[in-house]
Chain A
């Protein structure tokens, strides 16, 4: 259970000591020393669904790109159509290889006319930085602001009112996948109506130096709401119940956006982008396998890497799985041949040599409570 073999020192967010003082169990994640839980994953998960939770996700990476060709560069790199983004709007997208595999999934923020921010997965920061800068086009200046940027997520049904109490501007009018600028607890922030939990809430981008003050203010002001700090363990079960993909588990270089259910962020009509031809060829040939959600019929917990079976033969692989605290059963996601991808399709998961019955279900597993645009 212990990872003592890390060859390079783990990176720390500006809040690392705060987590240790709060009694968090720290684990290595993507090269970072991160809190996996404070009191317990199930309790933290439920706090987010029922009240409000506070996450330190400062390990995420932020790149800014600006200049007359910033949009052209973003368009070349990303599968989605950033031309439709207004200032103050956020868009989910993928970066793809020419062969159609996924470099990373990310969110794109339009900060100003010729100024965008790309928010990428922590474990991919170095790879993505090399990728975007080596495929940049025209007059576009890149800046990696990951180290100087902290990111706190406030998620749950009581998140909006909590942030509203501490903000120096209206936040209730910020629509889903939009952001505004303002100070929260006196700390200048990008206040983004986004998240990775399926609950309403905000992600707050602040200067690293302001993170501790903002964290303390949110904990203090949220006390009456039952706010809890939330570790990566509950972040994972919350996103799993929504079937949100996790890079490195559900999507990677060997998977394409279409089979991963991310076809909605691929916009070939926008024009050329890296991976477009390959993805269009895949689409024309038909999608061979699909990422589906399934629930266990028998008592057992599916895990990343377990085999999915049908009629006694291996047909696919579990990419994420766990007990889902809000759905109160074991759930998973994984790739299966398209013919087996429909809801109700009967599968089995091979767990320690024994096949355990499972069935494909509609997703999300738990209804989304994000604010509708």
Chain B
């Protein structure tokens, strides 16, 4: 059973968001990294870029697959994890910690209301994928 921290919010596309005031730190879930396998490349926007809730903001590539990343919330990118280009495997080893991807300054705090709770996300992934 994949780890689903209670304090985070989730998308159906397997991103998490940690809301800190008007900012949200985001990444992909433990379930997502398990499904992907070894992550070898993460393509992220630059600081200052705008992202839109539920639209793609980047790409994560494992050895086998390419997957789009979907923004949990709209806003401006204010931080990008500079470790990921050198150590993309952090997405596998610590998806909720050192494997974070962006910090977004939210343009609409209500976006958060549209995200899933940990309990709901756990239900979504309870089937274990395929």
Q: What residues on B are CB-neighbors of A236 within 8 Å?
A: 64
Q: Tally of A-B residue pairs with Cβ under 8 A?
A: 48
Question: 5 A-B contacts, Cβ less than 8 Å apart?
Answer: A2-B130, A25-B37, A40-B37, A41-B63, A303-B66
B-facing residues in A13-48 (Cβ within 8 Å)? 25, 36-37, 40-43
Contacts of A323 in B (CB 8 A): 40-41, 61, 63
Complex partner residue of A37 from B37, B40, B41, CB under 8 angstroms: B37
Q: Are B66 and A301 in contact (CB under 8 A)?
A: yes
Q: Chain A: residues with CB nearer than 8 A to chain B?
A: 1-4, 25, 36-37, 40-43, 233, 236-237, 299-301, 303, 322-323, 325, 330, 352
Interface string of B52-94 (1 = CB under 8 A from A): 0000000101111111000000000000000001000000100
What chain A residues lie within 8 Å of B21 (beta carbons)? none
**Binary flags per residue of B116-130, CB closer than 8 Å to A gives 1, else 0:** 000000000000011
The CA-CA distance from A37 to B62 in the complex, in Å, is 13
A42 touches B38 (CB 8 A): yes
- Cβ of B3 < 8 Å from any Cβ of A? no
From the candidates A2, A233, A300, name the one contacting B63 in the complex (CB within 8 A): A233
Q: How far is the CA of A236 from the CA of B62 in the complex (A)?
A: 13
Task: Determine if A299 and B37 form an interchain contact, defined as CB atoms under 8 angstroms apart.
Answer: no
| Chain B residues whose C-beta falls within 8 Å of the C-beta of A300 in the assembled complex | 41, 43
Most interface-central of B41, B67, B92 (chain A CB within 10 A): B41
A1 touching B130, Cβ below 8 Å: yes
Closest Cβ of chain B: how far from A208's Cβ, in Å? 26
A1 adjacent to B66 (CB under 8 Å)? no
Q: Given that A37-B37, A41-B37, A301-B41 are contacting pairs, would A325 and B130 also be in contact in the complex, using a CB cutoff of 8 Å?
A: no
CB-CB under 8 A from A3, the residues of chain B are 130
B35: Cβ under 8 A from any A Cβ: yes
Query: Are B65 and A1 neighbours in the complex by a CB distance under 8 Å?
Result: yes
B129/A40 in contact, CB under 8 A? no
Compute how far the CA of A3 lies from the CA of B63 in the bound complex, rounded to whole angstroms: 19
B129 touches A41 (CB 8 A): no
Residue of B nearest to A328 (CB): B40
Known: A1-B35, A2-B129, A2-B130. A301 touches B64 (CB 8 A): no
Q: Is the CB of A233 within 8 A of B66?
A: no
Which residue of chain A is the closest to B66 with respect to CB atoms? Answer: A303
Shortest CB-to-CB span from B69 to chain A, Å, is 12
Q: What per-residue 1/0 map shows which CB atoms of B90-125 lie under 8 Å from chain A?
A: 001000000000000000000000000000000000
> Which residues of chain B are within 8 angstroms of A301 by Cβ–Cβ distance?
40-41, 61, 66
Q: Give Cα A4 to B92, complex, Å.
A: 26
- In the complex the two chains form, is B66's CB within 8 Å of A41's CB? no
Are A41 and B41 in contact, with the CB atoms below 8 A?
no
- Closest CB of chain A to B124's CB: distance in Å? 14
Of chain A, the residue at the smallest CB distance from B89 is A42
Q: List the A side residues contacting B59 at CB < 8 Å.
A: 352
